[in-house]
Amino acid sequence: IIHYQPPWWEPTLFEIKILDFSPALRLLRYAGVDFGHDQWRRRLLYNLDHLVDPVTSEPDKPWFVFAHVLAPHAPFVFRPDGSQRPQSGVLSLYSDVDSSESYETYKRLYTAQVSGLNVHVETMVDQILAASATPPVIAIVSDHGPKLENVYPEGLKHNLMMLYVPDIDKAVLHDDQNLVELFPILFRSIFGLPVPMPVQP
């Protein structure tokens, strides 16, 4: 299990949320100390930087590595070049637009975070490809994106699905492939596992 462990002197995300209800954390941020956003960025990078660890530790062993990376979900901690973005406001995982932000500001920050995250994801993919003794299967998929229909008419965004797979019958995958069927299809087509396909309601 890839697990980021913050240093002992740093408050946990739960403690940071408790501090958010007091003036202490705001005073620290005013002084340039920001535990929450800095820790959140380190947590994201730790997961991406260490996804390749199982492969490099035992390259001849088959691995199934799964990571849930909460980005480009808010909070926004990446500039477009992948560097650290200065914090703004209270640390929150709430994905809707804050009432104090304009939609244009939200779009700018979200787009910048997508570009910055891509820099680190591309590095992660290159590391996995370089470390794999046999061609790996890599699936990068997203959820529906930020929920905006309650505030703005654009509504939910589409899913992202990028696959790097060995030669398989391309007919088993299609342009509007849904996420529920994706892994059963890959397990059946690539590994020959008798995984049942989900039943459509």
pLDDT at 99: 47
- From CA 69, how far away is CA 137, in angstroms rounded? 18
- From CA 56, how far away is CA 50, in angstroms rounded? 10
C-alpha closest to that of 96 among 27, 29, 160, 151:
151
Query: Can you give the pTM of this predicted structure?
Result: 0.78
Q: What is the pLDDT along the chain (201 residues), one digit of tens a residue?
A: 667 777 777 777 777 777 767 777 667 767 766 667 788 888 899 999 999 998 888 888 888 888 888 888 888 899 999 999 877 666 666 555 544 556 777 778 888 999 999 999 999 999 999 998 888 899 998 876 665 555 555 545 567 888 888 777 767 787 777 888 888 988 888 888 898 988 876
Q: Can the peptide bond before residue 23 be classed as cis, meaning omega within 30 degrees of 0?
A: no
Q: Is 104 helix (H, G, I), strand (E, B) or coil?
A: helix
- From CA 150, how far away is CA 166, in angstroms rounded? 42
pLDDT tens per residue, range 115-125: 999 999 999 99
Q: What's the angle, vertex CA 158, arms to CA 96 and CA 2, rounded to 5?
A: 75
CA atoms within 13 A on the CB side of 123: 14
Cβ contacts of residue 170 below 8 Å, gap of 6+?
A: none
C-alpha closest to that of 140 among 161, 113, 159:
161
Q: Is 179 left (phi over 0), alpha (psi -120 to 50) or beta?
A: alpha
pLDDT at 135: 87
pLDDT tens per residue, range 172-198: 787 777 888 888 988 888 888 898 988
Q: Identity (one letter) of the amino acid at 127?
A: Q
